[in-house]
A and B are shown apart, each in its own frame.
Chain A
Amino acid sequence: MTANGWFQIGLYLLVLFLITKPIGIFLSRVFERQKTFLDFVLRPVERLIYRLCGVDENKEMRWQEYGATMLIFSAVSLILLYLFERLQLWMPWNPQRLANVAPDLAWNTAVSFTTNTNWQAYTPETTMSYLTQMAGLAYHNFASAAVGIALAIAVIRGVSRHASKTIGNFWVDLTRCFLWVLLPVCLVGSLVLVSEGVVQTLKPYTTAQLVEPQTVETQGPDGKAASQTVTRQVIAVGPTASQEVIKMFGTNGGGFFYANSAHPYENPTPFTNFFEMILIFAIPSGLTYTLGRMTKSQGHGWAVWGAMTALFLVGVTAAYWAEARGNPELAGVDQRASALHSGGNMEGKEVRFGIANSALFATVTTDASCGAVNSMHDSYTPLGGMVPLVNIMLGEVIFGGVGSGLYGILVFVILAVFIAGLMVGRTPEYLGKKIEAFDVKMAMLSVLISSLTILVFAAIAVVAKFGTSSISNPGPHGLSQILYAYTSSVGNNGSAFGGLNANTLWYNTSTAIAMLLGRFFVVIPILAIAGNLARKKMTPASLGTFPVTGPLFTILLICTILIVGALTFFPALSLGPILEHLLMLSGKAF
């Protein structure tokens, strides 16, 4: 670990802290329909959209209606994307004449992008046409992010309102999120990326003549080994920059290229790397401020932010430490950082990012349910690779996905308040609302669905042939690969551990189910809590009220996340990465 590395991590945290308040204020102004500096352009557009769609912007919805509308919207979007993929060969903007996507893969991908997961069981540059990428995938990057943010805002309304039956209008929240939040930032952001060298074109792939022809081993048509000399290289290009910004800003993570943010056309410079990481955390971090502002308890917003930041720092420290330490198996190899190289475990990492920025990126992308990668998590040391895995297992609440991180952590807030709230001698209250049987039931249901889905699918996969045949390394590392796949699906993260061949019927089907459960079955109970809280009376705070602000609450929240969220997975982890790490120390690698 180097001072420079720590400086970059510290700078990241500082910038994140500085943007949290302005973003939070802007978001609350947008969704509380107060004046913003963009109104003069966007208000007419917004009104036009409502007139065209027949939406009454002043009619509010109960939580059931809000949830149902969201589900219908998502279902229609999902089917549209499926059709784009299945019919791309006959549609425009397919200069490479890429074939229609196979049904199971198309289904998996449609689910993946609708649920803001962006799990990619395919290689984009050889599978998806420009049209599918732009109108299908990029659209979903916007839509799924907007849905997540709208849901979070609805949940915050549920917490902040009292004696109210409704929690907002889904169409209005969705539209305002598109117009005021996502589009302006992406417009500016993609120009920034283009200026740094990210490609943006509709032209076909270009071909380069190799300076030095390469000979590679391949299989001949008769199945025998043959050698082939390669003299030309096809370089994939496309409308990347426009998709790159929303991929980060909407915590989607689905790369335009297979190499994702490790690809120089997606993430060419240290500046774009920093910019992209800031984009990932911008909204999730800002939403904590919005929470404080809308509930009129700014201290609570910061307490939640504090818990997220503390867990983030633990993760980044652990990952940085584990990777900078290098691989003990490589005795005699110089793994110390020096002026000439970054040292540590550089396998699967880009030289232009080095250890610190790879560890930071890996932590950020898995804390937020983004899933973009600038290094290959599969090649991390066992403990370094456990950090992303644990980050996702905690429920994607360390900042988390746009919107989903906030409503996810509110479940833990409610559980923390319920478990420890009694200790102040009152029945548990959250910001003046009594937490009762229904709220606890829904919160537990939400937690239960995620752990159930991860554990059950992983348990089936590790004992069944169709599950184990996809893993590339035996032993504990294989267990990690499978665990990671389902954890990433349920957490709607979408990053892959790599190594696992996920494009099989079993994995395409099971991860798709896991993604749907992890997104919609988790959020419906939370919406129910929001609707129920909105209905309740609010008790004004007094000296006897359970404090949901301050460092004590932050610590309590962290402990709840760790104990309720992580203990469930401890047995599985101990047989996966922990065991692999210990075996590595005793000289055994996988």
Chain B
Amino acid sequence: MDRASQVKSKALTDTRILKTAIVDSFRKLNPRTMIKNPVMFVVEVGALLTSIQLVRDTLHHSGEFGFGLQITLWLWFTVLFANFAEAMAEGRGKAQAETLRKARAETEARRLRPDGCTEVVPSSKLRSGDHVLVAVGEFVPGDGEVVEGVASVDESAITGESAPVIRESGGDRSAVTGGTRVLSDEIRVRITSNPGETFLDRMISLVEGASRQKTPNEIALNILLAGLTIIFLLAVVTLQPFAVYSGAPQTIFVLVSLLVCLIPTTIGGLLSAIGIAGMDRLIQRNVIAMSGRAVEASGDVDVLLLDKTGTITLGNRQATSFHACPSVTEVELASAAQLASFADETPEGRSIVVLAKEKYGLRGRELAPHNPMFIPFSAQTRMSGVDMDGQEIRKGAPEAIDKYVAEKGQVVPAEIKQIVREIANGGGTPLLVTQNRHVLGAIALTDIVKGGMRERFEHLRAMGIRTMMITGDNPLTAAAIARQAGVDDFLAEAKPEDKMALIKREQAKGKLVAMTGDGTNDAPALAQADVGVAMNTGTQAAKEAGNMVDLDSNPTKLIEIVEIGKQLLITRGALTTFSVANDVAKYFAIIPAMFAAAFPQLEVLNVMRLSTPESAILSAVIFNALIIIALIPLALRGVRYRPVGAAALLRQNLLVYGLGGVVAPFLGIKLIDMAITYLHLARGRIL
């Protein structure tokens, strides 16, 4: 996040991005590029027409050169400003993506040759399908899948999470990401992406002009804008006959000025920048979207499916109670559990140490004289513990302990089995503690609901979004946690196929569903969901199935993604409303100016008291161009989104962008008119 926010603060003033954007805004004048944006294309044609007229006037020494020149220049500026907005958004998006890409250090890879030998190649030479070996201390050279071995991997470079994670072949934890470091063991990795085809590269291409696809809502909005443009084109073209009838024909400069002021140039110029900026904001939060459509859909989500573990509750359960065997005291059990956990740096291990300390006053003991040998947790044994003074203390999952004590012909006592069941039924996870392969008792680890989740769910409810907790727990436990967390509903004892069925059921009711997932068996559901966010730590299949990847692998981020989607849509709507509302003032500036010479009586419509007809028209055109530049920051930043109901949001935005859109140009045009008059840029009347 820190890295990303630096990028963000830099980008608006970054001179390199600015320079590229300026060059790009000229390059985008190419009519073949411009035609993709019908509104600005009309402005460009208008600018071309006035340019031609300007040349003809100059050759014939007719017309008012100063006025014509200024109008023409400002029309070109209007087009350039719109191009600049788009280029800025593109530039920022690329800069952010590149910063992320640089985070993946160029490394050396040990590639397996067909003959079984290894060769050292730079990671950029790896192709999809290559197999590489990664040993302790080495970096994973590219995105891929573990095909052999188990290892703990430090993914903090990508996720920021310091605790190492287990990556093993087969199953849901087989995906590894380039740039992460192996901490134990050696793994064989099959590379799954070619250079230039990673998710990041795909994201960059979504930001860049050439391959950018318009989203469905953008297409619809473009149709509306094109329709409005045609209507106003008609109004202006037919105005000339009416003017001729009235004995006051107009020059091409005035007609084009009126047209450009009326068509929705503000939103037309900023529309693609808004879309790109939405993507940028996702990258800033380390989320990569596979399509613009997905970002848009996330604003529409009605139901959020959230996995309990890691999303609603802290991923790690914490020790909350000790349950000793009848022959053992609780203090003895706590002491042994604490000893077994001293070297265990996982949150669960630490929570056991802390609980023993808080409950029984067992403090850190001087262990060195006892010559302890700590047994770290390993993926194979699923136990950890310590050997000291001939004592073998272990703690682990009931099944693992069961196997471990059985090796010495021991069994887990029936009372403990009963306790284990009870802990599990109550929503907790039991761990068993043994000393010399004798079971001392059980530790209960239970779920802790993350702080602030209740409030977030309340916000979501206010937005009209229902949250649903998915958990493998039994219904009783699930209900308890659901109540505690304040989710609207839950699905207990969920199997992967249940998730799929649930999504289909909700979709049949007309709802849009978002979910997160990481396992291969999540893949169908991720593909079915309207917004499927795959965790970066998830399997390749999951990442392919979803339409977004969260590099931080933080399932809670789904809520932020929804907010970004909403923000994108609001920004679009706000600027459209603003743009359309602007027309009222522009009419009052231009219409009286057009006919002031023929019908001085129309001066009463000049409610802004603009100084001269020339200045009035010029001011309207200048306002129309400058407002694009003025709104670029808003388009890139997005309109602030508050999680309140739709009615309140609409009222507020209508007030700001609707009413504001009517009032702002009256003030703006008047100010520009005063400046023009002060600078003597316009003459008294139009010829």
Contacts and interface: CB of A to CB of B under 8 A. Distances in A.
Interface in B194-230: 216-217, 219-221, 223-224, 226-228, 230
A233 B581 CA distance: 58
A543 B238 contact: no
A497 B220 CA distance: 39
A545 B646 contact: yes
Interface in B463-510: 463-466, 508-510
A545 B464 contact: yes
Interface stretch (B101-109, B422-430, B563-571): B563-571
Interface in A371-429: 415, 418-428
B81 interface: no
Contacts of A436: 216-217, 220
Interface in B218-276: 219-221, 223-224, 226-228, 230-232, 234-246, 258, 262
B220 A425 contact: no
A438 to B, nearest CB: 8
A1 interface: no
Interface residues of A, number: 69
Contacts of A420: 573, 577, 650, 653-654, 658
Given A425-B641, A427-B296, A570 B591 contact: yes
Contacts of A422: 217, 569-570, 572-574, 576
Given A420-B658, A463-B241, A582-B599, A427 B217 contact: yes
Nearest to B603: A582
Contact of B235 (A427, A571, A576, A583): A571
A478 B570 CA distance: 46
B231 A426 contact: no
A128 interface: no
A441 interface: yes
Contact of A462 (B242, B466, B570): B242
B239 A567 contact: no
B246 A579 contact: yes
A479 to B, nearest CB: 6
A418 B511 contact: no
Contacts of B679: none
A452 B587 contact: no
Interface string B545-578: 0000000000000000000011101101110110
B595 interface: yes
A539 interface: yes
A425 B463 contact: yes
Contacts of A582: 599, 601-602, 604
B573 A583 contact: no
B601 A572 contact: no
Interface in A543-560: 543-547, 550, 552, 556, 559
Given A418-B224, A425-B299, A459 B231 contact: no
B274 to A, nearest CB: 10
Interface stretch (A82-90, A277-285, A443-451): A443-451
B238 A459 contact: yes
A314 interface: no
Contacts of A219: none
Contacts of A415: 224
Of A162, A415, A422, A539, chain B has the most CB atoms within 10 Å of the CB of A422
Contacts of B657: 423
A23 B223 CA distance: 38
B365 interface: no
A517 B653 CA distance: 37
A424 B512 CA distance: 16
B630 interface: no
B220 to A, nearest CB: 4
Nearest to B236: A571
Contacts of B230: 448
A571 B299 contact: no
A586 interface: yes
Contacts of A463: 241, 244-245
Contacts of B645: 543-544
Nearest to B240: A459
Contacts of B296: 427
Contacts of A540: 509-511
B193 to A, nearest CB: 32
B234 A455 contact: yes
Contact of A455 (B216, B238, B569, B587): B238
Interface of B: 216-217, 219-221, 223-224, 226-228, 230-232, 234-246, 258, 262, 296, 299-300, 302, 461-466, 508-512, 565-567, 569-570, 572-574, 576-577, 580-581, 583-584, 587, 591-592, 595, 599, 601-602, 604-605, 641, 645-647, 649-651, 653-654, 657-658
8 contacts: A421-B573, A437-B216, A540-B509, A552-B647, A552-B650, A567-B584, A571-B239, A586-B601
Which 4 A/B pairs are nearest by Cβ-Cβ distance? A544-B464, A422-B573, A444-B227, A425-B566
